[in-house]
Amino acid sequence: MALAMRGGVSMAVWIGGVIAELDLLRRATDDTPDTSGRAKIYRELLGEAHYKGVEFDILAGASAGGLNAVLFALAQSYGVVTDSIVRSTWENDGGLWDLLRSPSDNAAADRWSGFRAVDSVLSGDGRFLTLAVTAVNRIAAAPRLSKRQPPQALSVELAATLLPDPDKQVTTGRGGFSFTRRPGGLSSAYSTIPGLGDDESAAEVARQAMALAIRSTSSFPGAFEPATVYSIDSPEEIAPNSGGKPNMDRVFPFARAATGGDTAVGTTVSGDAPFLVIDGGVFDNIPIDRAIRAIQRAPASAPTERVLMYLDPQPPAQPEPIPVPATDNAQRRVLAKQTAQLSRWLNVIRSGMSMKSRQESAEDEITYIREHNDSVLALRGRTEELAAWLGTAKGPLPSIPVSRYIQSRIGSDAQHYSEILTAPHTMLFTPPFPAEPRTPIEPLISLRIKDALAQAYTRVTPGSTAAGSDSQAQSVMTRGDVTAAIDATQFLIAWARALEGAGKDAASALKPSLYRCGAVLLQARHLTVDTALASVAATPERWTDALVDGIAAQGRLTISTEVNCALKQGNSVDDAAFYSALSPSMTASGIGFTSGADSSALLTTLWGHLDEHLAALVTISAEADEEFWNESLYRALAQNFSTNGTYTCYNIVRLIAASGGPDTQSVIRYHQITGDEPPATADSDYLKALRADAVATQLEAWLKHDTAIDAIDPQQLSEWMAKIDGLERAEDKLCGTPLARFAGFLDWRWRASDWRWGRVNAASGIVDLLLPDDPRADAEQKTRQDARRYYKKRLQKEIVAEDPDAQAIPARGLGAITDLPSSYRVGLVSRASGLVIRALQPASIFPSPVKKSVVIIGVALLRVIPVLLGLIVDPLRLLIALAATLLTSFLLPGDSETGPALWYTVSFLTVIIGGLLVLRSLAADSKWRNMNRRLEQTVTGGPHESWLGALHFAEEKTRKWRQWTAAVGVGCIAAAVITGVLTGERVVTRYQIEPLLIVWVLVAGGAITLTVRCTKVPPALAYNPPVVEGLGRRLRRRVPLVVAVVFIVAIVVTAFWGDATPPSAPIYTAVLAAVCSAVLVACSLWGWTSAAQVYTYAAPAAVLSGAIAAVFDVWVIPDSALPLTVLVPVIVWWLYLAVFLGNVKPRTSEEMGLRPTD
């Protein structure tokens, strides 16, 4: 099984849940004690599908999917169960509160740290990398619960994006990380994934590399600063001048020269300069193509079926059905409107640009699977044609001349060498070889490789006397070069697989040694022709000589005795010893390719081993008798082989070269698990309520837009409503989908819910995989469907019953930020928005001092925004702050005078607002009536009649809001009329301008709140608050009502405040201003930071505000007509926190109650 995991920010939690369930499937066939009854169910399903077990040997991921790929790989290599460790990591450490930068992240923090620029909002190296290191080390230290042996072959492919780099070898932003594990573990250079039995010092460095890869591939641009990846062409495990970071040259495809400066490949970057890497999802968020490339390299020593499983938490949403115009005139109007829009100049440009920047989709990536399968099937077709010809041919098997064979290889070899030139970081960066500084050439120049190859092959053809001919290279081609031996090895492996399909298990014993031969030959080609050509890539004139020299060098290669013994048919050397002998770790001595006295010539030895394997396959083939086998190429060869005693593997390679020959690749079966997978049953109270919540959400959307659902095509509408009823959309179930998929980071309960849904969706996907549709009789198909439904219900029931967090999971599908505790909301918005603005502060050198000053001043002014946003997200705090400011404005002295004109203006505007509120209430009533009428016409008597009951329930619940809106509108009109009529000469104000502004804010806020509530459908479920409900939460439920009452009373009281004059004294003024500023600071900080921090910041603000207010009272007000005193506490609070908000130390997540309690 190969897993391709899409990125999805916080939806990585859902992917983690899927992997936990897939891991249970993997362990279902071993003797691991498991408390879950689902393991037994999976064993039953595997048995019915005739599978002995499941292995996940290829894990490809992008962004957050890459994170899960690394953790799953480590869990397998260490024999650890993923569920408990990975789940607790997500729940405890996956919160946004902990990932946000804080003053404690800076070791050199001072009082000005909060004012300086930051590289990102979230802490990448300071927090995320630490969490990644902790997670991989926890897996390594966990007790081994799985009795299954660690996998013999494991590959992890992660997507990454490189930022622009001055190094000439970085010509594209596409990058990645590749980790592998082979038998013997880290004792061989083939392995970079640590596991059981590895030396701990080497394993620790390898885990650090994997943690850095997690940090890099998941570094969402803008959220995290770019990761610094040190990759140096050096044997050092720790990169110099990197602060202890590992040298990533064995897992990262790019590397800098150790010395830096000018090199053969043209790089001019210092050797210790890091590469800057960000989220792999920028270019490759759907890593299906990476998984396919890994599949093509993967060995399979036993009979297998290859499946590629794609995990997508939230597939692209299907468009909602829209009303169809009922008349021809309406249709013409719609068409005319669309045509007019398309003919507009800017709209054409915008449409063209959007098409140009088309987003990556899974359908695009699935094309790679289709192309792979088409290639395999086409090759099979050509092979069958050759088999038919051989089956009817008379006499011995033909012997194709070497010269003809060499010329037939030009086309296929040209493709390989062209990729060496244009993508050396992909082609040459394969285990056991580390990355090297290599500069790719332009694709246009690479077209010349075919001519160079033709010239080279002319020179190496036996007997050729062309200029530049090489006798040693000709000798190699006479015996068969490394490329021919690779083709022979693949052919013999395909032959063994065919015999396995025919029920001859004896052929399986030959495959391990054949795969070893292939590994040796691939390494030999890398050391000779591939490296020789890559070294002169920048000089096309030297390509021909390099190819000839590389082929000649193959004749001089020798292998050690240890490697030779491991290649023999039926040898007893285990895989760990073979890989250690072929390519020891960097710290070991010796190498599989040697020139010692006890070594053997590579080509002579390998061809001998291959011929022995061929003879064994011919012997086994004599006993095979299956219909597909009797029509195969292998049977035709086996029958004729006895009459051609001198026919060798090289003869067979030359014979099948024209047809392309059989390959080791097989057709890939594709399967996907998505968040759109519906639950098997909605019988539980939780799922019934969740469905009601999804229905309410859709009804609210229709109400807001007054959608004419009766004009929607009935079939489309019914299908859409069925999709919502069945919870078939990820956004109706998963808490992490809102806020651009960041919502899951806000609450551990939301992450726990998504984890559980991941397991539920995975269980359904596993059943569909093991019990696929049967194209036979309808009765058989119905039996399959019933069986799938039965198993899905059983699995879903057990998953929910076993969930340790079932009682804590929120009881609504979509979490909203308003559901979170108010202190958490205020702190989160204040911290995050402040960091966003600090990240906007320029850090580079501007060419113009004036431009730099303007930008810095502009960014500095933006710092006041987080202070306001922190109050806006909590209406109760906002009301307290406004009340404190309003009260202070009445009590502070002032000498300004305003005439009746201002009050008449306020009265007029208030009448307008009141009228709008009344109209809004009437319009909302109309929308509800229309929706009720349309829904009755559409669903009455149908399968979705329950939607009508949901609408009636929602209408009854929201009726009071429409009534309140109308009542408040009438009250505004009445208050404005009273104020306007009775104002006259009684209103001689010295201190009323500021209260008017504040009252106006209350009016606007109340109007907006009531307007939104008119068509707001109440959710069917309520969020489980993490704190005990108290007076504050009850007040917040009634904030709109309180606001409405306060602003009406405030208008009247303000109008009749009269000429009462507060005392004018510096001490009185200072105390009022100080108290007001202290209250405002407390409103901004209370709850999300400690009480000591609140006092620390409130006291200086109070002192500063009081002093300034006293100065205004003594020196400014007597000589000024402007009422500035009341603005002093507000401005001091605003500017003071704007400067020092970044220095406020937040409470820990434990103190905030943001982590699960044991």
Q: Is the pLDDT of residue 209 over 80?
A: yes
Catalytic residue, candidates 57, 125, 198, 279? 279
What average pLDDT score do residues 416-432 get? 91
> pLDDT (tens digit, 9 = 90+) per residue, 858-910?
777 888 889 989 888 887 788 788 778 877 877 766 544 555 666 677 778 88
The pLDDT, as a whole number, for residue 660 is: 65
Task: Please count the other Cβ atoms lying within 10 Å of the Cβ belonging to residue 297.
Answer: 13
Q: What is the mean pLDDT of residues 1022-1040?
A: 48
Q: Which residue has the higher pLDDT, 192 or 340?
A: 192
Cα–Cα distances (Å) from 447 to 54, 679, 949, in that order, read 43, 53, 69
Catalytic residue among 10, 57, 63, 545: 63
Among residues 135, 197, 82, 92, which one has the least CA distance to residue 759?
A: 82
Q: Of the ranges 48-57, 167-176, 469-478, which one carries the lowest mean pLDDT score?
A: 167-176
User: How far does Cα 227 stand from its chain's mean position?
Assistant: 16
d(CA 732, CA 745): 18
Whether the bond between 432 and the residue before it is cis, its omega within 30 degrees of 0, is: yes
pLDDT tens, residue by residue, 560-614: 888 999 999 888 888 889 998 888 765 544 467 765 556 789 999 999 999 999 9
- What is the DSSP secondary structure assignment for residue 244, as one 8-state letter? S
Mean predicted confidence (pLDDT) in 1096-1101: 94
Alpha helix locations (H) across 186-311?
Answer: 200-217, 288-297
pLDDT, average across residues 21-47: 83
Query: Which of 77-91, 740-754, 782-796, 887-901 has the lowest average pLDDT?
Result: 887-901
Under a CB-based contact definition with an 8 Å cutoff, are residues 995 and 890 in contact?
Answer: yes
pLDDT given for residue 260 in this prediction: 56
- The 3-state DSSP class for residue 635 equals helix
Domain ranges for the chain: 2-312, 370-667, 685-713+894-1061, 823-862+1063-1158
Backbone dihedral region for residue 184 (phi beyond 0: left; psi -120 to 50: alpha; all else: beta):
left
Helix (H) or strand (E) holding 881: helix 875-891
Beta carbons within 8 Å of 371's beta carbon, 6+ residues apart: none
Residue 6 has pLDDT above 70, yes or no: yes
What is the pLDDT averaged over residues 271-277? 84
**Among 196-210, 315-329, 498-512, whose mean pLDDT is lowest?**
315-329
CA distances from 417 to 263, 533, 553, 993, 1099 (A): 23, 8, 17, 80, 73
- Three-class DSSP category at 892: coil
Q: Which residue in 1083, 1124, 1122, 1121 sits closest to 1101, CA to CA?
A: 1083
Tokens representing 1116 are 């400014």
Per-residue confidence (pLDDT) for residue 109, from 0 to 100: 53
State the pLDDT confidence band at 1158, using cuts at 50, 70 and 90: low
Q: Closest by alpha carbon to 870, among 839, 825, 840, 835?
A: 825
Which span out of 26-30, 483-487, 924-928 was modeled with the highest average pLDDT?
Answer: 483-487
Instruction: Tell me the HSE value of 582 on the side-chain side, using a 13 A CA sphere.
Output: 31
| Mean pLDDT for the stretch of residues 710-724 | 87
pLDDT of residue 883: 77
Report in angstroms the alpha-carbon separations of 585 from 202, 235, 236, 592: 10, 10, 12, 12
DSSP β-bridge partners for residue 246: 238
| Mean pLDDT (whole number) for 143-157 | 83
Place of tokens 């651009």: 740
pLDDT (tens digit per residue) in 655-672: 888 666 666 677 788 899
Is the pLDDT assigned to residue 1031 strictly greater than 50? no
The DSSP annotation for 493-511 comes to: HHHHHHHHHTT-GGGGGGH
CA distance 267 to 270: 9
The encoded tokens of residue 910 equal 């208030």
Write the pLDDT tens digit of every residue in 969-995.
Answer: 888 888 777 766 665 544 444 434 555
Note if 113 is an active site residue: no
Task: Give the pLDDT mean for 223-232.
Answer: 91
The model's confidence at residue 372, banded by pLDDT at 50, 70 and 90, is confident
Mean pLDDT calculated for residue range 544-558: 94
Is 63 one of the annotated active-site residues of the chain? yes
Distance in angstroms (rounded) separating the CA atoms of residues 440 and 266: 11
Across 136-145, 934-943, 976-985, the highest mean pLDDT is recorded for 136-145
CA 1051 to centroid of chain Cα atoms: 52
Mean pLDDT of the 286-304 span: 74
Does 714 or 976 have the greater pLDDT score?
Answer: 714
pLDDT bracket for residue 523 (50, 70, 90): very high
User: Which residue type occupies 689?
Assistant: A
Band (pLDDT 50/70/90 cuts) for residue 749 is confident
For tokens 């037994």, name the residue.
40
Residues 944 and 718 sit within 8 Å (Cβ to Cβ): yes
Buried b (16+ CB within 10 A) or exposed e, 810-835: bbbbbbeeebbbbbbbbbbbbbbbbb
Pairing of strands 275-279, 227-229: antiparallel
Q: Which residues contact 1012 (CB under 8 A, 6 or more apart)?
A: none
805-833 residue pLDDT tens? 665 554 444 556 777 888 999 999 999 99
Q: What does residue 316 show for φ and ψ, rounded to 5 degrees? A: -55, 135
The per-residue pLDDT for range 80-128, each reduced to its tens digit, is: 888 888 888 888 888 899 999 887 665 455 566 666 778 889 998 889 9
Report pLDDT for 832: 92
Give the separation between CA 16 and CA 22, rounded to whole angstroms: 10
Instruction: Please tell me whether residue 100 adopts helix, strand or coil conformation.
Output: strand
Mark out the alpha helices in 142-179 (DSSP H runs): none
Indicate whether 321 pLDDT > 90.
no
- What is the per-residue pLDDT across 669-697, written as a single tens digit (0 to 9) for each? 889 999 998 888 766 677 777 888 888 88
- Rounded to the nearest integer, the mean pLDDT of the chain is 80
Residue-wise pLDDT for 1106-1154, tens only, equals 998 888 776 655 554 445 566 788 899 988 998 888 889 999 988 888 8
Longest dimension (CA), the chain: 125
Q: Which pLDDT score, from 0 to 100, does residue 340 have?
A: 47
> Which residues does 668 contact at the CB level (< 8 Å), separation at least 6?
292, 295, 306, 307, 308, 369, 372, 373
Given a contact cutoff of 8 angstroms between Cβ atoms, the answer to whether 478 and 555 are in contact is no
Please report the pLDDT score of residue 815 as a whole number: 56
Average pLDDT over residues 620-632: 81
Range from 678-692, 930-944, 1003-1017 carrying the lowest mean pLDDT: 1003-1017
Q: Which residue has the higher pLDDT, 686 or 761?
A: 761
pLDDT at 272: 76
Question: Which residue has tokens 């493709």?
Answer: 415
pLDDT of residue 445: 92
> pLDDT of 921-931, one tens digit each?
888 888 888 88
> What single-letter DSSP state applies at residue 155?
E
Of 647, 554, 534, nearest to 604 by C-alpha is 554
